[in-house]
Amino acid sequence: MIDVCLLGIGGMMPLPDRPLSAALIRVGSETILFDCGEGTQVNWRLSGWSFRPTGTILLSHLHADHIAGLPGVLFQIAHAGRTEPVTIYGPEQTAEIVTHLVRIVGRLPYELRVVHLEGGDSIPIVAGLTLSTLRLRHRMPCIGYRLDLP
């Protein structure tokens, strides 16, 4: 079974009743975060879902409204006691941007991996899921994701 929790619904700037893009997917004991707009950790905490089981983060593109919440989320995952690696997947330049954002957080108790994806990739990730990607048209490199569970 797959559970979905919408943490944000989009928009270019956070408003009191419109948090930025973010969604959680739970499969078994694993949690996957799709995008990470500013303030993601606030609605995540309100949802009651734990930060610790999150080992996969999927970024569609690198505009601030999709990634500005990353330092806070990585910090929350660290303080939830996670020591297993966390992998961030995203389009070209994801590694460079993540490197700069992680400087805000400081030392993490887990290994942080960054994987560059392009449209047409298909890889196994966690909990039996296969991740497939599609290059999307946007003002910057953008990836669409599909998860398949046998």
- The CA distance from 22 to 26, in Å, is 14
Q: Name residue, tokens 């610790």.
A: 52
Q: Are 19 and 47 in contact (CB under 8 A)?
A: no
- The CA distance from 2 to 62, in Å, is 26
Query: Any alpha helices (H) in 9-131, and if so which ranges?
Result: 40-47, 64-67, 70-79, 94-105
Please report, in angstroms and rounded to a whole number, the separation of the first and last CA atoms in the chain. 11
Residue 3 known to be catalytic: no
Residue among 3, 17, 35, 65 flagged as catalytic: 65
Question: Could you list the active site residues?
Answer: 65
